[in-house]
């Protein structure tokens, strides 16, 4: 099928909920993808921060293929060696004390689950979230997602969330001094969709102290930052704290849909049969992918590459743009004009990158095994595009 034929069918038979790039991808390998017309791209978008190991990582593909022919699926009503291995490896790589996983299928489900667990553990109901956060589209997570356009149509049925400015521990302290019904604080440690914003480490440490003092669960939504993307398995390790709950998805299966909540010993002890459940969570195919993803990450020491990739991109792009920020392979590039025409012009130069809610920010979410020549191609494309000043592309 040509790109035009594919577009016509998708537009005719899919609900029009997504704004899409005008390309149809048919193949991927490492940090490159190819479209239906044979054009190649370096992929710095990764299917929305998913391709942490690049496209079709061989070990994950092999593990999934092997599992496909053995047992495609069975639910949590039985034990499974594939699930057992994935859970044990996840516990080994997770921060100490967070060795209890609940497997689900997506980031929003992971956040829903974490919010429920926090309520069960504390016996309280209210939630504090940060202005600018994105936590998902299902109703529980949506309640904690900041953007007005996401929440406004559903306001009447969303659980109450108290939003505070990101990075202001005093604002959180004021809410906790006034109310004794707060079950959880949820946050994206790096606000990604908002435009890659991070607070100083002291902010996260203050949240930890406040949660301890007030009996509140601290939930780190690491759907984007987790699984080593910022250089450690959890970004919390870099702040020297341990949340009570961490949510993961996106990179966890290297492209196979899977989410997980990592819970502390104390929270795990408060959970009983029937408190949460999902048919597909923990299925064999996803679990084979999780194990292969984590083994690849560990055996190829890929987390150690995050700082190198970050520094090479930062050093190459800083002279060209207003700001380069973020950590590891989660990078925001702030321009002095609109990002949309630059993104389109980069695509024409063979580079895929992401936008953000911030209209002047481009997001780069490359794999941890991105080679230097791909980064050099990215920098050269930025140089070409910004020199031609694209405002109408």
Q: Which residue lies nearest ligand PLP, judged by its C-beta?
A: 107
Distances (CA, A) of 65 to 52, 248, 284, 289, 299: 19, 24, 11, 10, 20
The residue among 258 and 377 lying less far from ligand PLP, judged by its C-beta, is 258
Q: In angstroms, what is the minimal distance from the CB of 253 to ligand PLP?
A: 11
40-43 β-sheet, strand order: 25-29, 32-35, 40-43, 351-352
Check binding of 354 to ligand PLP (CB under 6 A).
Answer: no
Q: Please give the Cα distance from 353 to 45 (Å, whole number).
A: 5
Contact stretch for ligand PLP (CB under 6 A) within 8-16, 31-39, 101-109, 370-378:
101-109
Interface map 32-61 toward ligand PLP (x if CB under 6 A)? ----------------x-------------
The residue among 35 and 188 lying less far from ligand PLP, judged by its C-beta, is 188
How many other CB atoms are there within 10 angstroms of residue 137's CB atom? Answer: 14
Q: Please give the Cα distance from 145 to 147 (Å, whole number).
A: 6
Q: In angstroms, what is the minimal distance from the CB of 46 to ligand PLP?
A: 12
Q: Please give the Cα distance from 161 to 130 (Å, whole number).
A: 10
The number of residues in the chain equals 393
Q: In angstroms, what is the minimal distance from the CB of 247 to ligand PLP?
A: 7
Q: Please give the Cα distance from 223 to 50 (Å, whole number).
A: 9
Question: Which residues, at least 6 apart from 38, have a Cβ–Cβ distance to it below 8 Å?
Answer: none
In the block, which residue shows the tokens 């699984």? 227
Interface map 120-149 toward ligand PLP (x if CB under 6 A)? --------------xxx-------------
Phi-psi group of 126: left, alpha or beta (phi > 0 → left; psi -120 to 50 → alpha; rest → beta): beta
Contact stretch for ligand PLP (CB under 6 A) within 67-75, 221-229, 274-282, 295-303:
221-229
Check binding of 223 to ligand PLP (CB under 6 A).
Answer: yes
The residue among 33 and 235 lying less far from ligand PLP, judged by its C-beta, is 235
Binding to ligand PLP (CB under 6 A) within 102-121 occurs at 106-108, 111
The residue among 103 and 134 lying less far from ligand PLP, judged by its C-beta, is 134
The four Cα atoms 360, 365, 366, 367 give a dihedral, to 10 degrees, of: 180
Interface map 187-216 toward ligand PLP (x if CB under 6 A)? -x---xx-----------------------
Binding to ligand PLP (CB under 6 A) within 5-24 occurs at none
Q: Please give the Cα distance from 246 to 260 (Å, whole number).
A: 8
Interface with ligand PLP: number of residues (CB under 6 A): 15
Question: Which residues, at least 6 apart from 248, have a Cβ–Cβ distance to it below 8 Å?
Answer: 110, 222, 223, 226, 227, 259, 260, 261, 262
Distances (CA, A) of 23 to 236, 318, 350, 366: 37, 29, 12, 19
Contact stretch for ligand PLP (CB under 6 A) within 185-193, 325-333, 346-354, 379-387:
185-193
Phi-psi group of 35: left, alpha or beta (phi > 0 → left; psi -120 to 50 → alpha; rest → beta): beta
Figure out which of the listed residues 185, 249, 294, 377 binds ligand PLP, where binding follows CB under 6 A.
249
Check binding of 245 to ligand PLP (CB under 6 A).
Answer: no
Q: In angstroms, what is the minimal distance from the CB of 227 to ligand PLP?
A: 13
Binding-site ranges for ligand PLP (CB under 6 A): 48, 106-108, 111, 134-136, 188, 192-193, 221, 223-224, 249
């Amino acid at each position: 099928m040509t790109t035009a034929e594919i577009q016509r069918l998708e537009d005719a038979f899919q609900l029009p909920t997504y704004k899409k790039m005008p390309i149809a991808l048919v193949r991927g390998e490492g940090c490159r993808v190819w479209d239906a017309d044979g054009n190649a791209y370096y992929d710095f978008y990764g299917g929305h921060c998913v391709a942490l190991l690049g496209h079709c990582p061989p070990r994950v593909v092999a593990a999934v293929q092997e599992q496909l022919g053995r047992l495609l699926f069975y639910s949590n009503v039985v034990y499974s060696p594939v699930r057992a291995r994935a859970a044990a490896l996840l516990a080994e790589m997770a921060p100490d004390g967070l060795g209890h996983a609940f497997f689900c299928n997506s980031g929003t489900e992971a956040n829903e689950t974490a919010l429920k667990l926090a309520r069960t553990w504390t016996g309280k109901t209210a939630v504090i979230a940060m202005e600018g956060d994105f936590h998902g589209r299902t109703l529980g997570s949506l309640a904690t997602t900041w953007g007005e356009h996401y929440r406004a149509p559903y306001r009447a049925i969303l659980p109450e969330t108290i939003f505070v400015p990101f990075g202001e521990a005093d604002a959180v302290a004021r809410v906790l001094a006034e109310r004794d019904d707060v079950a959880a604080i949820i946050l994206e440690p790096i606000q990604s969709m908002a435009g890659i914003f991070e607070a100083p480490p002291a902010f996260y440490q203050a949240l930890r102290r406040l949660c301890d003092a007030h009996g509140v669960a601290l939930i780190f939504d690491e759907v984007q930052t987790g699984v080593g993307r910022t250089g450690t398995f959890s970004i919390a390790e870099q702040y020297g704290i341990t949340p009570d709950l961490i949510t993961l998805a996106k990179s966890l299966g290297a492209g196979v849909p899977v989410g997980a909540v990592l819970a502390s010993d104390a929270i795990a002890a408060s959970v009983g049969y029937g408190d949460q459940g999902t048919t597909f969570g923990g299925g064999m195919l996803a679990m084979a992918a999780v194990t292969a993803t984590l083994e690849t990450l560990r055996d190829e020491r890929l987390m150690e590459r995050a700082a190198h990739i970050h520094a090479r991109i930062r050093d190459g792009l800083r002279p060209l743009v207003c700001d380069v920020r973020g950590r590891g392979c989660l990078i925001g590039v702030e321009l002095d004009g609109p990002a949309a025409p630059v993104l389109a012009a980069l695509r024409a130069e063979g580079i895929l990158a992401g936008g953000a809610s911030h209209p002047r920010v481009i997001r780069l979410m490359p794999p941890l095994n991105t080679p230097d020549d791909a980064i050099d191609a990215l920098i050269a494309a930025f140089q070409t595009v910004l020199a031609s000043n694209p405002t109408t592309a």
